[in-house]
Amino acid sequence: MTFDAAHYTAQLQDKVTRLRDLLAPFDAPEPQVFDSPLQHFRLRAEFRLWREAGERHYAMFSQDDKRTPILIEEFPIASQRINQLMPQLKAAWQASAALSHKLFQVEFLTTLAGDAMITLCYHRPLDEHWHTAANKLAADLNVSIIGRSKGKRDVIGHDYVVEKLEVGGRTFSYRQPEGAFTQPNGTVNQKMLNWAYEALGERPDDLLELYCGNGNFTLPLATRVRKVLATEISKTSVNAALSNLDENAVGNVNLVRLSAEELTEALNDVRPFRRLHGIDLKSYEFGSVFVDPPRAGMDPDTCELTRRFDNILYISCNPQTLAANVAQLHDTHRITRCALFDQFPWTHHMESGVLLTRR
């Protein structure tokens, strides 16, 4: 891959054009554009291992050919920390049968703050020889190590990394667990958080947040409103979000483990949920809703739920489903802000955001 700045600029402009065209029927303003570093922007990476000439090598496969490996020595789109760790880890498994025996996959998770975790996946149980070698490896590389084998997990150090991001002049600390979703491009994530922080503005009322994950947006947005009701269905993400709220002393958030569809039912008095015990939904004065849904976008009922709010702040990883949701809301809300976040340079994927306000 070549990392030509002119090529990147042209590709980014193509994305701007695509987003502009998708949102043109809704009279969207010109998008703000937030670019990415050309290299070393990706904070996580996953590699299969491939044996050749008696050695294991990092390998990836193209979408079109899952049988022919692409052997890799370095990975320029990954963080500098990952590129630093790759040869060190390879040298360690080459020197240690305890580390290399039936090792078939390696995963790296790093942060802008410099924290790092390596997950080693095996087709065998992990024994004391592995633990001895892995403990030394973790100390030598200054990383946490997780060993996985047949549904079992062995943790050396922590099963998470810690990220620090500056939003609105304040530094927030984020615990990011192994196996949970995190934004892959930390630099662009920080830009995205600051855009959402500014778009929401300081408000005297309350915020509903759907799909809150580990609290990526929850932490800074909670400082802009009276209180927040946030929902997330993943137990791992909920536990991380609760830790992050506590670590950052953000005390005006109630977090419930409900899907967006379940919360819609609760707010519509369709049925009660024990997980809402002790939370008085009627005490909230919601003026805004924040959504960051999966690629499928919001289902029609959840989309209808958001129509109740004066302000809908929407982050999307799929501009097509964003446009479909905006079409459903267009008769009552208009786009007043629009942004493109280049989370995934050198691909056709893009992240976007809109603020919709009641007409």
Catalytic residue numbers read 317, 351
Q: Is 292 annotated as a binding residue?
A: yes
Q: Is 328 annotated as a binding residue?
A: no
The two tokens of residue 313 are: 């702040």
Q: What would the DSSP string read from start to end of 268-293?
A: TTS---GGGTT--GGG--EEEEEE--
Q: Which residue has the tokens 């070698």?
A: 133
Measured in whole angstroms, the distance separating CA 198 from the mean position of its chain's CA atoms is 20
- What CA–CA distance (Å, rounded) separates 77 from 345? 9
Q: Is 190 annotated as a binding residue?
A: no
Q: CB of 209 within 8 A of CB of 231?
A: yes
Q: CB of 213 within 8 A of CB of 70?
A: no
Q: Is 13 exposed, middle or buried (0-12, 13-18, 19+ CB in 10 A)?
A: exposed
The two tokens of residue 210 are: 């759907």
Q: Is 239 annotated as a binding residue?
A: no
Largest Cα–Cα separation, the chain: 67
Q: Is 8 annotated as a binding residue?
A: no
- Give 24's DSSP letter: G
Which residues fall in the annotated binding site? 183, 211, 216, 232, 292
Which residues fall in the annotated binding site for S-adenosyl-L-methionine? 183, 211, 216, 232, 292
